[in-house]
Amino acid sequence: MNIARKNFLSTLLLVWLTALALPASAQGKLLVPDLSPEQRGRPRSEPVAEALKLVPKNYKFAKDGVLVVGTTTGRLPIGAYALDNRTPVGNAPDMAQLMADSLGRKLELVSVAWSDWPLALQSGKFDVVISNITVTEERKEKFDFSTYRSDLLGFYVDSASKIQSIKEPKDVAGLKVVVGASTSQEQILLRWNQQNIAAGLKPVEVQYHEDDVVLYLALASGRADVYFAPNGIAAYHARNGKSRLVGTLPGGWPQSAEIGAATRKGSGLADAITAAINAQIRNGNYQKTLERWNLQSEAVTQARTNPPGLTKR
């Protein structure tokens, strides 16, 4: 079974389990997401004159009349496949739609593996890539960025947990913490664990669960105490009331970070994309795209072109 198919089936199973756990009055609302290919609830916009004026006259789009956007389709709320197992849905596709609308172009979403998007963007296959990309100084050497979300990590516990707050290393001492392998949050957790051990505190029991259903069952059963994850992903699942947030950290802790839409370096399109995002912030469509996927905690008040990014450690 390929990864995309596995993630799709895991998403469906988690949605089904969530729906069963909810009272009848709650089912069908935001708690059970819209996975239809049609996405009739997706916010739309009229063209934005300010953004159109900023598109360089010599910029060559990948296709006439179209904004071609590359996006990964790994998991909600960022991006996954609809019920047709073909149409990308999630916050990244919603943002892509607003950008295309702002520029008066049709949207073409292309699913791309994370490892493949840099070369595809540089080659001109895509005009933009929207894929939960953290702005870093290293990436800015090759790409321009228009920011649209804060990069946050969150500590989540079962709703019945006695844990109320996690702010610093000592708060996780002796706990069983689930984290993704080879992620920034894993690096932070391991550094915290080293500090705790050096201070004579109990070590963390680090757990890895690739399947979301298994992960949340571990939290509910007490086999795990905490899930340390990208805040957007964990907040999306927390909307069913079964888990809750007890602390956040910037994605580049101790540095702060932002998520940005990537464009080709020096192409000039980034300024137009930034203007488009700011127009959508002003008219309220931006906030609606976040609310659809429970990402309000990661909202920015202003999009920026190439802000300071995370530096190499």
Asked if residue 99 and residue 236 are part of one domain, the reply reads no
Asked if residue 132 and residue 274 are part of one domain, the reply reads yes
Asked if residue 134 and residue 38 are part of one domain, the reply reads yes
Per-residue confidence band for 216, with pLDDT thresholds at 50, 70 and 90: very high
Q: Is residue 308 part of a domain?
A: no
Domain boundary among 250, 282, 306: 250
What pLDDT is stored for residue 301 in this prediction? 97
pTM, entire model: 0.81
Distance, in Å, from the CA atom of 268 to the CA atom of 64, rounded to the nearest integer, reads 18
Cα 189 versus chain centre, distance: 20
Q: Is residue 23 part of a domain?
A: no
Q: Is residue 313 part of a domain?
A: no
Q: Is residue 218 part of a domain?
A: yes
Q: Is residue 6 part of a domain?
A: no
* Per-residue pLDDT reduced to its tens digit, 100-113: 999 999 999 999 99
* Per-residue pLDDT reduced to its tens digit, 126-159: 999 999 999 999 999 999 999 999 999 999 999 9
Asked if residue 175 and residue 130 are part of one domain, the reply reads no
Asked if residue 142 and residue 37 are part of one domain, the reply reads yes
Greater pLDDT, 251 or 59: 59
Q: Is residue 13 part of a domain?
A: no
Asked if residue 272 and residue 137 are part of one domain, the reply reads yes
What is the number of domains present in the chain?
Answer: 2
Greater pLDDT, 49 or 20: 49
Domain boundary among 213, 233, 250: 250
What pLDDT is stored for residue 312 in this prediction? 73
The range of the structural domain enclosing residue 87 comes to 33-151+258-298
* Per-residue pLDDT reduced to its tens digit, 264-297: 999 999 999 999 999 999 999 999 999 999 899 8
Asked if residue 194 and residue 264 are part of one domain, the reply reads no
Q: Is residue 22 part of a domain?
A: no
* Per-residue pLDDT reduced to its tens digit, 26-75: 333 445 689 999 999 999 999 999 999 999 999 999 999 999 999 999 88
Asked if residue 279 and residue 133 are part of one domain, the reply reads yes
Nearest to 21 by CA among 246, 210, 243, 214: 243
Domain boundary among 210, 225, 250: 250
Strands 176-179 and 205-207: parallel
Asked if residue 142 and residue 267 are part of one domain, the reply reads yes
- pLDDT > 90 fraction of the chain, expressed in percent and rounded: 79
Rounded mean pLDDT of the chain?
90
Asked if residue 199 and residue 79 are part of one domain, the reply reads no
Provide the sign of the torsion angle of the four alpha carbons 90, 91, 92, 95, taken in this order: positive
What torsion, rounded to 10 degrees, do the Cα atoms 105, 109, 110, 116 define?
90
Asked if residue 185 and residue 44 are part of one domain, the reply reads no
Beta carbons of 121 and 260 less than 8 angstroms apart: no
Tell me the CATH number at 181: 3.40.190.10
Asked if residue 156 and residue 101 are part of one domain, the reply reads no
